């Protein structure tokens, strides 16, 4: 991970305790799917290399529409999830 990131973010925001890189996404999506009404949304800033993993997670776990947005450098960095 880039020094630009590790120098400015706490380790708890960057690393999971058990090397499950989707741990926090999975838990937030699980809770939101139970608590949000249809049309409710989540927005995530994501690692540019996690699009495929997050797509698989969403396809296998919730009824939602989702869209990835590019940052100013053209990298997939924003995920919007809208529950159906």
Q: Give the pLDDT confidence of 57-81 residue by residue, as tens digits.
A: 999 999 999 999 999 999 999 999 9
Single pTM value for the model: 0.83
Those residues whose C-beta lies under 8 Å from the C-beta of residue 40, and which sit 6 or more positions away, are: 32, 82, 83
Question: pLDDT band at 84, cuts 50/70/90?
Answer: very high
Range of the domain at 41: 3-83
Count of structural domains, the chain: 1
Q: What is the pLDDT of residue 64?
A: 95
Composition of the chain by helix, strand, coil, percent to 5: 40, 25, 40
Query: Which domain CATH number covers 24?
Result: 3.40.50.150
What are the E-state strand segments in 1-84? 41-45, 64-70, 76-83
pLDDT above 90 (res 12): no
């Amino acid at each position: 991970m880039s020094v630009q990131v590790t120098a400015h973010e706490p380790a708890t925001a960057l690393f999971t305790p058990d090397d499950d890189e989707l741990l926090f996404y999975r838990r937030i999506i699980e809770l939101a799917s139970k608590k949000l009404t249809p049309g409710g949304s989540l927005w995530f800033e994501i690692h540019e290399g996690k699009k495929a993993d997050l797509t698989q997670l969403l396809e296998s776990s919730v009824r939602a529409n989702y869209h990835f947005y590019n940052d100013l450098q053209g990298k997939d960095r924003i995920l919007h999830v809208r529950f159906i």
